Amino acid sequence: MNTEYEIIRSSRKTLALQMKSEGQLIVRAPYRTADREIRRFVDQNSDWIQKHRALIEQRRKKEAQNPPPAITRETLHRLAALAVETIPPRVAYYADIIGVSYGRITIRSQKTRWGSCSAKGNLNFNCLLMLTPPDVQNYVIIHELCHRKQMNHSHAFWKEVSQVMPDYRKQRSWLKENGGALIRSMLSQTDT
């Protein structure tokens, strides 16, 4: 199989594949992994790669038949204002339940993330969350606050998330299935 991919090397211990929303394949590899070993890993996972590319193609066809509404700069400003009113009280509510503190809350129109948590405890949220169901918004808030206990995506981190939101996988799936279209509809209007 002749598959193009980008290699990202780090101090990780294992090889992993990541499929970006537009179909780009990323191989995450330990620093010392030989290129031929990476190629063999990609070839061994060709079924996984083909399956995920097929899912992306299905999504593209679905979006072409039923495109998401355009998100203008004016709409982004309105969404950001709504997020500034809506998100901080919910962060405070869930921070109390989880038992963590946090720093500054910033609302942005991010192109790749729904939320993030810095090492200092500052939280960033995407204003497009205002276009998602409330449970999805709560999931992103809980996810970022749980990073105050675990700054990773380990089993311990997901256990923290599930203690507050046992059905978090449902919300995470909603974002994976629908979130990309929201971000693309913003990019198609604001990057021109």
In angstroms, the CA 123 to CA 151 distance is 13
Altogether, the residues listed in the chain come to a count of: 192
pLDDT for 42 equals: 94
Mean pLDDT of 75-81: 92
Q: Which residues of 81-97 are buried (b: 16+ CB within 10 A; e: fewer)?
A: eebeebbbebbeebbee
pLDDT for 57 equals: 85
Nearest of 19, 18, 21 to residue 29 by alpha carbon? 18
pLDDT band, very low/low/confident/very high, at 118 (cuts 50, 70, 90):
very high
CATH code of the region 73-190: 3.30.2010.10
pLDDT for 8 equals: 93
CB 46 within 8 A of CB 1: yes
In angstroms, the CA 107 to CA 116 distance is 11
Mean pLDDT of 79-91: 96
Query: Is the confidence at residue 164, as pLDDT, over 60?
Result: yes
Q: Cβ neighbours of residue 25 under 8 Å, at least 6 residues apart?
A: 3, 4, 5, 6, 17, 18, 19, 42, 49
Domain ranges of the chain: 6-65, 73-190
% of the chain beyond a pLDDT of 70: 93
pTM for the whole structure: 0.70
CB 114 within 8 A of CB 129: yes
CB 144 within 8 A of CB 89: no
Q: Are strands 16-19 and 123-126 parallel, antiparallel or unpaired?
A: unpaired
pLDDT band, very low/low/confident/very high, at 48 (cuts 50, 70, 90):
very high
